[in-house]
Amino acid sequence: MLKPVLWIHGEALGPANPALVAHPGAPALFVFDRELIETQRLSLKRLGFLYECLLELPVTLRHGDVVEEVLSFARRHGADGVVTSAAVDPRFGLLREQIAAQLPLQVLEPEPFVALPEPLDLRRFSRYWRRAEPVLWGRGSAAAPPAPAQRWDR
Protein backbone atom coordinates (compact mmCIF):
# COMPACT_ATOMS: atom_id res chain seq x y z
CA MET A 1 0.00 0.00 0.00
CA LEU A 2 1.30 3.39 -0.95
CA LYS A 3 -1.46 5.54 0.52
CA PRO A 4 -3.26 3.77 3.36
CA VAL A 5 -5.55 5.10 6.03
CA LEU A 6 -5.25 3.75 9.56
CA TRP A 7 -8.15 2.18 11.44
CA ILE A 8 -7.51 2.58 15.17
CA HIS A 9 -9.72 0.53 17.50
CA GLY A 10 -10.26 0.10 21.22
CA GLU A 11 -7.61 -2.59 21.72
CA ALA A 12 -4.70 -0.39 20.64
CA LEU A 13 -5.15 3.11 22.00
CA GLY A 14 -1.59 4.19 22.55
CA PRO A 15 1.23 5.81 20.63
CA ALA A 16 2.84 2.35 20.26
CA ASN A 17 -0.07 1.19 18.08
CA PRO A 18 1.73 -0.67 15.28
CA ALA A 19 -0.32 1.04 12.55
CA LEU A 20 0.61 4.49 13.87
CA VAL A 21 4.27 3.47 14.21
CA ALA A 22 4.45 1.90 10.74
CA HIS A 23 2.71 4.81 8.98
CA PRO A 24 3.42 8.07 10.83
CA GLY A 25 1.47 10.93 9.33
CA ALA A 26 -1.09 8.72 7.58
CA PRO A 27 -4.73 9.71 8.15
CA ALA A 28 -6.06 7.74 11.11
CA LEU A 29 -9.63 7.08 12.21
CA PHE A 30 -11.32 5.81 15.37
CA VAL A 31 -15.02 5.00 15.21
CA PHE A 32 -17.16 4.92 18.32
CA ASP A 33 -19.05 1.78 17.29
CA ARG A 34 -22.74 2.57 17.68
CA GLU A 35 -23.79 -1.11 17.69
CA LEU A 36 -21.15 -2.09 20.25
CA ILE A 37 -22.05 0.82 22.53
CA GLU A 38 -25.73 -0.10 22.41
CA THR A 39 -25.44 -3.90 22.71
CA GLN A 40 -22.68 -3.95 25.33
CA ARG A 41 -24.13 -0.96 27.19
CA LEU A 42 -20.77 0.72 27.57
CA SER A 43 -20.82 3.13 30.49
CA LEU A 44 -20.17 6.84 30.16
CA LYS A 45 -17.02 6.31 32.23
CA ARG A 46 -15.72 3.77 29.70
CA LEU A 47 -16.57 6.05 26.78
CA GLY A 48 -14.90 8.96 28.58
CA PHE A 49 -11.78 6.86 29.13
CA LEU A 50 -11.65 5.94 25.43
CA TYR A 51 -12.13 9.58 24.45
CA GLU A 52 -9.34 10.77 26.76
CA CYS A 53 -6.96 8.15 25.36
CA LEU A 54 -7.84 9.22 21.82
CA LEU A 55 -7.15 12.89 22.54
CA GLU A 56 -3.46 12.01 22.75
CA LEU A 57 -3.41 10.33 19.33
CA PRO A 58 -3.41 11.86 15.84
CA VAL A 59 -6.83 10.47 14.90
CA THR A 60 -10.13 11.63 13.49
CA LEU A 61 -13.10 10.59 15.63
CA ARG A 62 -16.40 9.37 14.21
CA HIS A 63 -19.52 7.69 15.60
CA GLY A 64 -21.61 5.14 13.74
CA ASP A 65 -21.18 1.96 11.73
CA VAL A 66 -17.48 1.05 11.79
CA VAL A 67 -17.30 -0.46 8.30
CA GLU A 68 -19.19 2.41 6.66
CA GLU A 69 -17.11 5.03 8.46
CA VAL A 70 -13.75 3.37 7.66
CA LEU A 71 -14.62 2.93 3.98
CA SER A 72 -15.95 6.48 3.71
CA PHE A 73 -12.80 7.83 5.40
CA ALA A 74 -10.64 5.84 2.98
CA ARG A 75 -12.54 7.21 -0.04
CA ARG A 76 -12.25 10.81 1.23
CA HIS A 77 -8.49 10.38 1.52
CA GLY A 78 -8.04 8.53 -1.78
CA ALA A 79 -6.57 5.58 0.12
CA ASP A 80 -5.45 2.39 -1.57
CA GLY A 81 -5.95 0.31 1.58
CA VAL A 82 -6.46 0.18 5.33
CA VAL A 83 -3.90 -0.66 8.00
CA THR A 84 -4.91 -1.64 11.53
CA SER A 85 -3.61 -3.64 14.48
CA ALA A 86 -4.70 -7.11 15.56
CA ALA A 87 -7.37 -7.52 18.22
CA VAL A 88 -8.65 -10.32 20.45
CA ASP A 89 -12.34 -9.38 20.24
CA PRO A 90 -14.17 -11.71 17.79
CA ARG A 91 -16.27 -8.77 16.57
CA PHE A 92 -13.07 -7.31 15.15
CA GLY A 93 -12.76 -10.29 12.80
CA LEU A 94 -16.21 -9.66 11.35
CA LEU A 95 -15.50 -5.96 10.80
CA ARG A 96 -12.12 -6.79 9.31
CA GLU A 97 -13.68 -9.20 6.78
CA GLN A 98 -16.25 -6.61 5.69
CA ILE A 99 -13.59 -3.94 5.18
CA ALA A 100 -11.26 -6.37 3.38
CA ALA A 101 -14.06 -7.20 0.92
CA GLN A 102 -13.88 -3.58 -0.28
CA LEU A 103 -10.23 -2.56 0.17
CA PRO A 104 -6.90 -4.26 0.86
CA LEU A 105 -6.46 -4.58 4.63
CA GLN A 106 -3.20 -5.10 6.48
CA VAL A 107 -3.35 -6.23 10.12
CA LEU A 108 -0.21 -5.59 12.16
CA GLU A 109 0.61 -7.52 15.32
CA PRO A 110 1.37 -5.35 18.35
CA GLU A 111 4.39 -5.97 20.54
CA PRO A 112 3.23 -7.96 23.56
CA PHE A 113 2.73 -5.95 26.72
CA VAL A 114 4.63 -8.67 28.53
CA ALA A 115 6.14 -11.93 27.24
CA LEU A 116 4.63 -14.89 29.08
CA PRO A 117 5.94 -18.46 28.85
CA GLU A 118 2.53 -19.94 27.97
CA PRO A 119 -0.82 -18.80 26.56
CA LEU A 120 -3.38 -17.65 29.11
CA ASP A 121 -7.15 -17.40 29.32
CA LEU A 122 -7.78 -13.79 28.33
CA ARG A 123 -11.45 -13.75 29.31
CA ARG A 124 -10.61 -12.49 32.79
CA PHE A 125 -8.10 -9.72 33.30
CA SER A 126 -7.38 -10.81 36.88
CA ARG A 127 -6.16 -14.23 35.72
CA TYR A 128 -3.90 -12.62 33.15
CA TRP A 129 -2.60 -9.97 35.55
CA ARG A 130 -1.70 -12.50 38.29
CA ARG A 131 0.71 -14.07 35.81
CA ALA A 132 1.82 -10.95 33.94
CA GLU A 133 2.52 -8.56 36.82
CA PRO A 134 5.56 -10.38 38.28
CA VAL A 135 7.10 -10.73 34.81
CA LEU A 136 6.42 -7.11 33.95
CA TRP A 137 8.01 -5.76 37.11
CA GLY A 138 10.95 -8.16 36.94
CA ARG A 139 10.12 -10.30 39.94
CA GLY A 140 10.99 -13.63 38.45
CA SER A 141 8.74 -16.04 36.65
CA ALA A 142 5.06 -15.72 35.87
CA ALA A 143 4.39 -18.26 38.63
CA ALA A 144 6.09 -16.17 41.32
CA PRO A 145 3.79 -14.48 43.83
CA PRO A 146 3.75 -10.69 43.83
CA ALA A 147 6.29 -9.01 46.08
CA PRO A 148 4.93 -7.01 49.02
CA ALA A 149 4.31 -3.35 48.33
CA GLN A 150 6.99 -0.92 49.47
CA ARG A 151 5.83 2.16 51.33
CA TRP A 152 7.27 5.43 50.08
CA ASP A 153 7.44 6.99 53.56
CA ARG A 154 9.84 4.43 55.07
The answer to whether residues 69 and 130 belong to one domain is: no
Q: Does residue 141 share a domain with residue 90?
A: no
Give the DSSP letter string of 82-124: EEEE--S-HHHHHHHHHHHTTS-EEEEPPPPSS--SS---TT-
Examine residue 37 and state whether it is found in any structural domain, yes or no. yes
Give the count of domains, the chain.
2
In a domain, 152, yes or no: no
CATH number at residue 27: 3.40.50.620
Q: Is residue 154 part of a domain?
A: no
Pair (97, 27) in one structural domain: yes
- Tell which wins on pLDDT, 148 or 67: 67
65: domain range? 4-108
Same domain, 133 and 57: no
Q: What is the pLDDT of residues 98-146, one digit of tens each?
A: 999 999 999 998 877 777 777 776 677 787 788 888 887 876 544 445 5
pTM of the model: 0.76
